[in-house]
């Protein structure tokens, strides 16, 4: 074998030895590379709702269908009628679910986490915040509760170009702010149908969240400033009666901004028939049939509000009035609300201005859905639109000092919210103002 061939073989062996050496060094330096790859086990996230750990159950969710009863839902989910009757009887003292069951409302059934999946708990949600728990795993019992609510304080400003709704909508803000300012705060001091270009506002308000994440709308307006025709209007929310929960809005000098009565018992409706003692109706041969109320047309189910604070004296159904509620406000004034589809208050209940007392309907003698609003002064029915209605109760002297101290830091914060510069073009200046109620 010649020297050249020996040299080549020697070089190959040297290269092989070097490769094997590098492999062993690498393995020695990284012993983990020789181990089997481990599989990560991800633990399921614990989910809690309604006070239950949902991971421990088979969770079934649905909404109440048209004409569906509580019993039908339980029967469909493997519970027999003898037990259903027992559940309804045992829980009706706490919450009569058979009476208040409504189409479209959500419910949740917690079932055993096994092959049988037997229902153990039924949870009904009459609204976003409240829920009713009916437990029948061991002993049958029921209770009502509320989801955790978080209030987040926010601020907003706007300058009117066409209407207040557009000013809010441009910023992605809730139109509920416009309705609250127009109907609850400035209803008696600013005519929102006659706003001017360049009018501006700023508000301190709170948004409501359920379970920290579900937006539930504007909770309240704590303070507002509205500049209309270059005249400033301040408004501050203040609790005047903690026993009855009465909240009013006052200006910077402690003057109440509202009147004793709302202008209408329903929002965003139209007057379909006014108070008229000489009214003639074709269907009655054009005979004079006095109309001693004011009819506000609105869809069935529209909330009807008490127009002032007072005590319910009647809540019943009778003849042509249909279902109605009557409220005594003081020794001088009473109001009545006719043709309801549902009454939501009972005799003796104290109601505050704006509280929902019923729903618009067509009970009694009526040709269409509306509420007939009747107004008594000193025992005589009168036209509320022709009365010089009293202002709301002024703040007491003992509370006035407390109020002025209370609003100092809020007014300071409100005054230090600055408007964003807004340029109004000549074309926009010539556009007519549109009421926010027309949008």
The number of distinct structural domains making up the chain is: 3
Same domain (yes/no): 102, 158 = no
Whether residue 316 contacts residue 357, with contact meaning beta carbons closer than 8 Å, is answered with no
**Torsion, CA 74, CA 78, CA 82, CA 87, rounded to 10:** -40
Structural domain contains residue 134: yes
Domain interval for residue 231:
150-258+394-424+431-438
Which CATH number is 93's domain given?
A: 3.10.450.350
Same domain (yes/no): 277, 381 = yes
The Cα-based distances of 14 to 7, 24, 305, 363, 392 in angstroms read 11, 16, 99, 106, 105
Which CATH number is 379's domain given?
A: 2.70.70.10
Nearest to 109 by CA among 95, 127, 123: 123
Cα 235-375-305 angle, rounded to 5 deg? 50
Same domain (yes/no): 247, 164 = yes
Structural domain contains residue 19: no
Residue with tokens 């329903």: 266
Q: How far apart are CA 205 and CA 258, in angstroms?
A: 19
Cα Rg, the chain, nearest whole Å: 34
Cα 63-64-66 angle, rounded to 5 deg? 130
Same domain (yes/no): 252, 360 = no
Query: Quick one: DSSP state of residue 284?
Result: G
Nearest to 141 by CA among 94, 78, 81: 94
Whether residue 149 contacts residue 159, with contact meaning beta carbons closer than 8 Å, is answered with no
Please return the burial class of 324, using the count of CB atoms within 10 Å of its CB with bins 0-12, 13-18 and 19+: buried
Structural domain contains residue 8: no
Structural domain contains residue 7: no
Query: Quick one: DSSP state of residue 438?
Result: G
Strand partners, 296: 271, 371
Of 146, 167, 198, the position where a domain reaches its end is: 146
Of 146, 165, 181, the position where a domain reaches its end is: 146
Q: How far apart are CA 296 and CA 275, in angstroms?
A: 11
pLDDT at 18: 52
Same domain (yes/no): 142, 154 = no
Q: How far apart are CA 261 and CA 243, in angstroms?
A: 21
Same domain (yes/no): 219, 128 = no
Nearest to 265 by CA among 319, 237, 302, 310: 302
pLDDT at 410: 96
pLDDT tens digit at each of 439 positions of the chain:
555 554 554 555 555 555 555 555 555 555 555 455 566 666 678 888 999 999 999 999 999 998 898 889 999 998 888 888 888 888 888 888 877 788 899 999 999 999 989 999 999 999 888 999 999 888 898 999 998 889 999 999 989 888 888 888 888 888 888 888 887 888 878 878 788 888 999 999 999 998 888 888 889 999 999 999 889 999 999 998 877 777 889 999 999 888 878 888 998 667 888 877 766 555 455 666 778 888 999 999 999 999 988 999 999 999 989 999 999 998 899 999 999 999 999 999 999 888 999 999 999 988 889 999 999 999 999 998 888 877 777 788 889 999 999 999 999 999 999 887 654 445 544 554 444 444 3
Q: Which long-range contacts (CB under 8 A, 24 or more apart) does 176-184 make?
A: 176/217, 176/218, 177/203, 177/205, 177/218, 177/221, 178/436, 179/267, 180/218, 180/220, 180/221, 181/221, 181/224, 181/226, 182/436, 182/437, 183/262, 183/267, 184/221, 184/249, 184/258, 184/354
Structural domain contains residue 15: no
Same domain (yes/no): 83, 232 = no
Same domain (yes/no): 328, 380 = yes
Q: How far apart are CA 412 and CA 408, in angstroms?
A: 6
Query: Quick one: DSSP state of residue 240?
Result: E
Tell me how long the chain is: 439
pLDDT at 363: 94
Same domain (yes/no): 368, 283 = yes
Structural domain contains residue 99: yes
Who's near 337: CB < 8 A, 6+ residues apart?
Answer: 265, 304, 324, 325, 326, 357, 358, 371, 372, 373, 374
Structural domain contains residue 13: no
Who's near 301: CB < 8 A, 6+ residues apart?
Answer: 341, 359, 360, 361
Q: How far apart are CA 134 and CA 84, in angstroms?
A: 11
pLDDT at 31: 53
Same domain (yes/no): 291, 369 = yes
74 is written with which tokens?
């339980």
Structural domain contains residue 11: no
pLDDT at 427: 53
Same domain (yes/no): 54, 135 = yes
Of 111, 146, 181, the position where a domain reaches its end is: 146
Strands 149-159 and 141-146: unpaired
Same domain (yes/no): 419, 378 = no
């Amino acid at each position: 074998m010649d020297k050249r061939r020996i040299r080549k073989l020697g070089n190959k062996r040297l290269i092989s030895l070097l490769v094997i050496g590098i492999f062993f060094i690498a393995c020695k330096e990284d012993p983990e590379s020789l181990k089997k790859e481990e599989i990560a086990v991800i633990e399921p996230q614990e989910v809690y709702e309604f006070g239950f750990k949902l991971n421990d159950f088979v969770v079934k969710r649905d909404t109440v269908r048209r004409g569906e009863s509580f019993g039908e839902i339980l029967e469909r989910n493997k519970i027999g009628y003898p037990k259903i009757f027992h559940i309804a009887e045992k829980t009706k003292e706490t919450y009569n679910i058979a009476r208040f069951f409504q189409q479209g409302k959500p419910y949740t059934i917690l079932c055993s986490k096994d092959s049988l999946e037997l229902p153990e708990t039924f949870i009904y949600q009459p609204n976003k915040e409240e829920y009713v728990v009916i437990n029948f795993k061991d002993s049958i019992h029921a209770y009502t509760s509320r989801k955790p609510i978080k209030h987040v304080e926010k601020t907003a400003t706007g300058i009117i170009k066409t209407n207040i709704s557009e000013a809010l909508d441009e910023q992605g803000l809730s139109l509920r702010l416009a309705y609250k300012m127009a109907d609850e705060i400035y209803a008696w001091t600013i005519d929102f149908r006659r706003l001017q270009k360049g009018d501006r506002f700023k508000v301190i308000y709170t948004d409501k969240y359920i379970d920290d994440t579900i937006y539930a709308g504007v909770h309240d307006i704590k303070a507002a400033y509205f500049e209309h025709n270059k005249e400033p209007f301040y408004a501050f929310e203040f609790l005047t009666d903690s026993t009855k929960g009465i909240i009013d809005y006052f200006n910077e000098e402690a003057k109440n901004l509202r009147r004793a009565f709302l202008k209408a018992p329903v929002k965003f409706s139209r007057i379909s028939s006014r108070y008229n003692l000489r009214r003639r109706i074709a269907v009655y041969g054009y005979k004079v049939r006095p109309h001693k109320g004011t009819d506000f047309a609105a869809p069935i189910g529209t909330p009807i509000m008490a127009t002032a604070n007072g005590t319910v004296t009647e809540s019943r159904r009778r003849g042509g009035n249909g279902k109605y509620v009557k409220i005594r406000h003081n020794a001088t004034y009473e109001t009545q609300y006719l043709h309801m589809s549902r009454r939501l208050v009972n005799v003796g209940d104290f109601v505050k201005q704006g509280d929902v007392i019923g729903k618009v309907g067509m009970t009694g003698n009526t040709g269409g859905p509306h509420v007939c609003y009747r107004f008594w002064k000193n025992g005589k029915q009168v036209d509320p639109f022709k009365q010089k209605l009293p202002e709301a109760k002024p703040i007491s002297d003992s509370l006035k000092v407390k109020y002025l101290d209370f609003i100092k830091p809020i007014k300071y914060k409100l005054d230090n919210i600055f408007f964003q510069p807004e340029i109004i073009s000549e074309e926009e200046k010539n556009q007519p103002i549109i009421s926010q109620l027309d949008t």
